[in-house]
Chains A and B, each alone.
Chain A
Amino acid sequence: MNAVVRAWLGFFALGAGLIHLALVIGSPLVVGIPLLVAGIAEFAWGVFAFTASTVPFARAARIGAVIPILGWVLLLVLVGAGSVPGVRVIPMLVASLLDLAVAIAITVLLRRGEREQKPLASGRYLLGLGLGALAVAALTTPALAATEAGDFAVPHGTQSEAPYDLDLPDGHSGH
């Protein structure tokens, strides 16, 4: 079971890291640099969490996961939601939830202890990982699309805002 939770930690951290990195684009430097540092640290730690047999730097990571959340809360208190260009509410909220999940999961693992447990059957292990991967992907992908970086996908002023072209004929029907 610990192996599944460790993998979920990696998923949460990767998701939060990608969102923070995407938020760098369009943010002022004073906010962009901390976002860049947080994003790189979260992404790297997430990949490391996949490969390690115990949670890497567990206590430090738990504190590290909370720092971006506190930073955002401070920003909200000082300048209000939506007042900092590039730092959009929905992506920051999703990234904060993922960071919170990291902190909670590390706390649970530390309390439970990292002693080696009986390995899970492959099928159950994959099912546990699959559910976590899907949940994080379903949260992270729309959050990424909602960042200013995601805006670059659809050039401003084009007639189609849909994620794909329907290739409809020009002109409206009925005219």
Chain B
Amino acid sequence: MSTSPNRLLATIFGIVYVIIGIAGFFVTSDVGLLDTSGGLLLGIFEVNILHNIAHLLIGAALLIAGLSGVRASKTVNSVVGAAYLLLGIVGLFIVGSPFNILAINGADNVLHFGSAVLLLAVGLGAERSVKTAATA
């Protein structure tokens, strides 16, 4: 696994996002599922219950893919990367609005955008000779 950038990235991000998801519940004890304002992780990143659940699910998907193999990692990295890019863009519009059901703040947007381009760059760019599941 250590020789595959996709597997390494998926595994590391998977573990990190699972930890972030769990840690998020410790700062959202009095926050609702869809509250537009929430608790702050590390004093910077705002989360609510739905946001924590999303982190857990994304982390689990990445971790499972990372442990499975290169093809799975490439696919999940690319898909999650694209989803985070969309979320980063949408996040700019919903911050401070009633539609902010993930309680996203500016720092979240930076993290989502950064994660997105990294996942996309590795998922699309690294190990291109390995066919993805779609082309197998």
**Cross-interface CB contact of B2 among A122, A145, A149, A162, cutoff 8 Å:** A122
Q: Identify A163's interface contact among B96, B115, B124, CB under 8 A.
A: B96
Question: Do the beta carbons of B114 and A137 come within 8 Å of each other?
Answer: yes
Query: Who on chain B is nearest to A141 by CB?
Result: B110
Is there a chain B Cβ closer than 8 Å to A134's Cβ? yes
> In the complex, are the beta carbons of B126 and A125 less than 8 A apart?
yes
**Contact assessment for A160 and B96 in the assembled complex, using a CB-CB cutoff below 8 Å:** yes
Q: In the complex, A130→B115 CA distance in Å?
A: 8
Instruction: Find out whether the CB atom of B125 lies under 8 angstroms from the CB atom of A18.
Output: no
Q: Mark A132-174, 1 if CB is under 8 A from B, else 0.
A: 0110111011101100011011110010111111110000000
**Do A153 and B97 touch across chains, with their CB atoms under 8 A apart?**
yes
Q: Which B residues lie within 8 Å of A23 (CB)?
A: none
Interface residues of A in 1-33 (CB under 8 A from B): 3, 6-7, 10-11, 14, 18, 22
User: Is B92 on the interface with A (CB-CB < 8 A)?
Assistant: yes
- Complex-state Cα separation, A122 to B126, whole angstroms: 10
User: Most chain-A CB neighbours within 10 Å: which of B4, B8, B103, B124?
Assistant: B124
Of A47-55, A67-75, A99-107, the stretch lying at the interface with chain B is A47-55
Q: With a CB–CB cut-off of 8 A, which chain B residues contact A113?
A: none
B46 cross-chain contacts in A, Cβ below 8 A: 164
Please, which residues of chain A bring their CB within 8 A of the CB of B109?
141, 145
What is the bound-complex CA distance between A53 and B129, given in angstroms?
A: 11
Partner of B5, one of A122, A144, A154, A158: A122
Is A123's CB within 8 Å of the partner chain B? yes
A163 → chain B, closest Cβ, in Å? Answer: 5
Number of A interface residues at 8 Å Cβ cutoff, please give it: 43
**Interface check A126, CB cutoff 8 A:** yes
Q: List 17 A-B contacts (CB under 8 A).
A: A3-B126, A10-B117, A11-B121, A122-B2, A125-B5, A126-B9, A129-B118, A134-B114, A136-B114, A137-B110, A137-B111, A138-B114, A140-B113, A141-B88, A153-B93, A160-B96, A165-B36
Residues of A within 8 A of B (CB): 3, 6-7, 10-11, 14, 18, 22, 47, 50-51, 53, 122-123, 125-126, 129-130, 133-134, 136-138, 140-142, 144-145, 149-150, 152-155, 158, 160-167
Further 19 A-B residue pairs, CB within 8 A, beyond A47-B120, A122-B5, A149-B93:
A6-B125, A14-B117, A47-B124, A50-B121, A51-B124, A122-B8, A125-B126, A126-B5, A129-B118, A130-B118, A134-B114, A137-B110, A137-B111, A141-B88, A149-B92, A153-B94, A161-B96, A164-B105, A167-B37
Sorted nearest first, the 10 A-B pairs with minimum C-beta distance are: A137-B114, A133-B118, A165-B37, A154-B96, A50-B125, A137-B113, A122-B5, A50-B124, A7-B121, A141-B110
